[in-house]
Amino acid sequence: MSNMADISGGIAYVVTDLHGEALPYIRYRDHFLSLRQRGQADILIFLGDVIHGYGRPEEDSSLDMILDIMRLQSELGPQTIMMLLGNHEFPHIYGVTLSKGAMEFTSRFESILGDHRAAVIEFFKSLPFCARTPGGTLLTHAGPAGTVSTAQAARQILDFSHDALLAEADRLMNRQDVMELIQSFMQMTVEEYDRAARHHLAVPSSDDPRYLDLLRGLIASNLHEWQPVWDYLFNQCEAGLSMSFYRQVVERYLSAYGSVDWPLRVIVTGHMAVRNGFEAITDSQLRLASWSHSTPKEAGRYLLFDVTQPVDSARDLVPCLFPMP
């Protein structure tokens, strides 16, 4: 279960979806470090989507934030600084594009990576998909969906390997002429692909080793291993479902990702907008918004809880929610 992190003890400090905003990042980080120094917190957990600001490019601190998390994890260890994979980090592993309306997230971040790119992508590849506690809480970015709430889907996701999928895409690319693949598989001329690669991946020329990453990402996204992970990270949870049906999905999800030794009863997620920083979606799901997805942003919350204490309901965690320091 390489994509599941087991947190066996301590006080967890949980934030999510900071999306390149330096102010809340610094305040949450410094507050955690202060609490840790006083013995009141042990592990800082980011539930993904640290990167991709929604504002102007000059206001986007995504790279500085990721580099700082990497630094802290190197200095303090992964048992103290943990980040889960979010849907905004995921596309950069594969060279696929992510946008929302007129906002092109991936091209902006790729353009500023520079010499940090290799280290940052390796860091993204190392991120667990979820974390669980002996008290029965599961932490993840997006949350439950019917397609990923079976035991088979859980095994696929927890055993998933980015390196294996990329290697298979490379193997398929090597079997054919890549220029023919661009024209037939991507329905692009070589000139169109060249423009797309320069724009989305910030590659200076066709000699750049990343030049074919757009093609590789498209091939990877058509392999059968891709879809469960995409559904896991990009699903919209209860949207479009009756609440009675969604409650069943949540219960199946918790059962699929738990075990005899680590039974799960409550899931904490981010990913979607909520008012005033949190919402108990069902008795078994708490949605957290620490900044970007909170309405208003200033009402963002963090979660501070003892991972060993039994949690039977999402409402049990509400007293453990605190406003941004």
Which domains are assigned to the chain? 4-89+127-160+225-323 (3.60.21.10)
Burial of 32 (0-12, 13-18, 19+ CB in 10 A): buried
Structure token digits, residue 291 = 């900044």
- For residue 154, the model assigns a pLDDT of 96
Q: How far apart are CA 270 and CA 189, in angstroms?
A: 40
Cα 177 from Cα 14, distance rounded (Å): 47
pLDDT at site 220: 96
Q: What angle do CA 280, 47, 225 make, to 5 degrees?
A: 105
pLDDT of residue 175: 81
What is the spatial distance between Cα 234 and Cα 129, in angstroms, rounded to a whole number? 12
Q: Order of strands across the sheet with 137-140? A: 4-6, 130-132, 137-140, 266-269, 285-288, 278-282
Instruction: Check residue 1 and give its pLDDT.
Output: 52
DSSP string, 276-320: TTEEEEETTEEEE-SSTTEESGGG-EEEEEETTS---SGGGGGGG
- pLDDT tens across the length of the chain (325 residues): 589 999 999 999 999 999 999 999 999 999 999 999 999 999 999 999 999 999 999 999 999 999 999 999 999 999 999 999 999 999 999 999 998 888 899 999 999 999 999 999 999 999 999 999 999 999 999 999 999 999 999 999 999 999 999 999 999 998 888 888 999 889 999 999 999 999 999 999 999 999 999 999 999 999 999 999 999 999 999 999 999 999 999 999 999 999 989 999 999 999 999 999 999 999 999 999 999 999 999 999 999 999 999 999 999 999 999 999 9
Query: What is the pLDDT at residue 102?
Result: 83
DSSP 8-state secondary structure symbol assigned to residue 150 = S
